[in-house]
């Protein structure tokens, strides 16, 4: 179980909202339109890989 603690935590919608400085609603709209950073649905929750979000920001700039 020690490996689980060393892995990077996936970001929630709220985490990405704070990082990008956009409202949570915008992230949900982007997902619905197929835009924005790559996102995965895990159960009922959307989760983002921090490295993918950072790469998306770099590409979008």
User: pLDDT value at position 5?
Assistant: 53
CA angle 11, 13, 19 (to 5 degrees): 70
pLDDT, residue 28, reads: 96
Q: Is residue 1 part of a domain?
A: no
Render each residue's pLDDT in the chain as its tens digit; 61 residues: 455 555 679 999 999 999 999 999 999 999 999 999 999 999 999 999 999 999 999 998 7
Residue 2 lies in a domain: no
In a domain, 52, yes or no: yes
Number of domains in the chain: 1
What CA dihedral angle connects 11, 14, 19 and 22, to 10 degrees? 140
| 30 within a domain of the structure (yes/no) | yes
pTM: 0.84
Tell me if 3 is assigned to some domain. Answer: no
The confidence score (pLDDT) of residue 3 equals: 56
Question: What is the span of the domain harbouring residue 29?
Answer: 8-60
- Burial class from Cβ neighbours inside 10 Å (0-12, 13-18, 19+) for residue 48 reads buried
Whether 19 and 11 have beta carbons less than 8 Å apart is answered as yes
Answer yes or no: is 29 within a domain: yes
């Amino acid at each position: 179980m020690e490996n689980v603690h060393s892995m990077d935590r996936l970001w929630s919608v709220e985490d990405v909202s704070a990082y990008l400085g956009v409202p949570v609603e915008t992230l949900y709209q982007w997902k619905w339109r197929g835009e924005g950073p790559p996102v995965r649905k895990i159960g009922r929750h959307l989760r983002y890989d921090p490295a993918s979000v950072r790469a998306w920001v770099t590409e979008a700039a």
